[in-house]
Amino acid sequence: MQVGAYLMNCHPPERRNADRHRVDLEQIQLLERAGLGEVWLAEQRTTGWGRGPAPDLLIAQAFSRTSTIRLGPLAHLPFQHPVDTAHRAAYLDRLSGGRYQFGVASGSLPSDRPLSGIDRMPGLHRAMTFDALDMIVRLWTGGPERHRGRFRFVDVPDEPETVLGHCPAPCPHPPIALAAIRADSAHHRLAGARGYLPISPAVAPDNRYLARHFANVAGGAAEAGRFADRADWRIVRDVYVADTDAEARRRARTGAMGRYWEQILLPLYLRLGLAPLLGRLPNGRTVDPEHIDLDFVADRLWLTGSPDTVTEHLADLSRETGGFGTLLLNVHDFGDELPAWRRSIELLTTEVLPRVRARDAVGVRSRSRTGEAVRGSITHFPTRTAEI
């Protein structure tokens, strides 16, 4: 199991924009020093909690302050022209020496869509997303050509001296990821069919529901004649580690994590109709929406506790989902509680993860002895040499 992060850009309204940007930059540097391999950044427009309309600006600055960590957005493709997105991503990939990664999300803020002139007709945003992704990949892999998608048109200038800087670093494009909350998402079906990285933000306490996410990925892969490797699968969870269970829960519940969940995430998810997932328990019962509050989320959904407790949580998560490659920490604005958050990261990376990996290694050896085919539990991205 590897570890990365999802930087939610969830800053409290009272924090100035410049300070929000600084907090995120410092967070990325902290995560790299702790040994995390990747960070994905949210894109948001219409929330008072830390608008992040241009994650590529933060990514560009973060690349200049880091040396190994991979960075990329979980972007909403319909909001920009695919040619602009393809060029900006390729440019960042070259600037970083091949450390860029390209993520696609559907967007959980319904208010972002009408702001960009996108109708709320069911399925339209998804269709625009997939159409844009097709055009972006065509530009990266085949170069500029006349192409008419369902929603956008790409033309090629007639001037022979025109040079289009569309190509990212070789190989032949950055790793592409598709994120989805629901187990039957077309995003994950497409990820399986094309060999992209599936990302699953967890909103259900029942890990067996998460297992259905990968079944969907595997189904898409099988239809395309591919093999879906669990090492490519990323799961997003809220994790907080402290010396004791009580301290970890208190810090998570009363700090930035709890405030964001109580004021933004939980009301948003309930408005989006996700109560059946939030209330889905491992015993098969579903809790009524009126009983889903912050304490329920803290006790049922978050992975908090001492190193021993969080080790058990992650072991359960791995076993009940069938295994995955990378745990992505749901990172909030911990700028005002940095020492405790730094301690949480330290305990996770130095005490929890070694124990989890030791258990994984035992499981791999056990499956090998029984003749079960085993795929690696660590995703190795190919070495990509960029022209700087």
Q: For 156-188, how does the pLDDT look when each residue is reduced to its tens digit (9 = 90+)?
A: 777 656 555 567 876 689 999 999 999 999 999
> Residue 144 is encoded by which pair of tokens?
């500029």
pLDDT of residue 80: 86
Locate 295 and state its tokens.
């304490």
The pLDDT of residue 109 is 67
- Please answer whether residues 141 and 172 qualify as being in contact, where contact means their C-beta atoms are separated by less than 8 angstroms: yes
Q: Does the pLDDT of residue 375 top 60, yes or no?
A: no
| 266 vs 142 pLDDT, higher one | 266
Q: What's the confidence (pLDDT) of residue 372? A: 46
Mean pLDDT confidence for 86-112: 87
- Determine the Cα–Cα distance for residues 376 and 286; give it in Å rounded to an integer: 35
Give strand ranges (E) for 174-233: 176-179, 197-201
Chain-wide mean pLDDT for the chain?
Answer: 88
Lowest mean pLDDT among 96-105, 143-152, 261-270, 309-318: 143-152
pLDDT of 39 > 90? The answer is yes
Has residue 384 got a pLDDT over 70? no
As a dihedral over the C-alpha atoms of residue 114, residue 120, residue 126, residue 130, rounded to 10 degrees, the angle is: -50
Taking alpha carbons only, the member of 22, 28, 21 closest to residue 7 is 28
CA atoms of 50 and 236, how far apart (whole Å): 20
CATH architecture of residue range(s) 1-179: Alpha-Beta Barrel (3.20)
> Is 386 a residue whose pLDDT tops 70?
no
3-state secondary structure 323-371: CCCEEEEEECCCCCCHHHHHHHHHHHHHHHHHHHHHHHHHHHHHHHHCC
pLDDT score at 256: 97
Residue 162 pLDDT: 58
| E strands present in 100-180 | 102-104, 147-148, 153-154, 176-179
86-94 mean pLDDT: 92
Q: What does DSSP assign to residue 108?
A: S
Higher pLDDT, 371 or 303: 303
With 80 as the cut, is the pLDDT of residue 385 above it? no
Q: What average pLDDT does this structure show over 209-232?
A: 98
For the residues 295-316, what does the mean pLDDT come to? 98
| Alpha-carbon gap, residue 23 to 334, rounded angstroms | 8
Q: Residue 228: pLDDT above 70? A: yes
CB 86 within 8 A of CB 133: no
Hunting for tokens 């058990």 — which residue is that? 312
Domains in the chain: boundaries: 1-179, 233-369
Question: What percent of the chain has a predicted confidence (pLDDT) above 90?
Answer: 70
pLDDT of residue 153: 72
| pLDDT of 21 higher than 50 | yes
Q: Is the pLDDT of residue 204 over 90?
A: yes
Q: What confidence category does residue 244 fall into, taking pLDDT thresholds of 50, 70 and 90? A: very high
Handedness of CA 180, 186, 187, 192 (dihedral sign): positive
**Mean predicted confidence (pLDDT) in 34-56:** 85
Q: Strands, E, within 87-238: which ranges?
A: 102-104, 147-148, 153-154, 176-179, 197-201, 234-237
φ, ψ dihedrals at 319, nearest 5°? -65, -45
Would you state the pLDDT for residue 339? Answer: 98
What is the CATH topology of the domain spanning 233-369?
Answer: TIM Barrel (3.20.20)
- By CB atoms closer than 10 A (0-12, 13-18, 19+), residue 287 is middle
* pLDDT score of 3 more than 90: yes
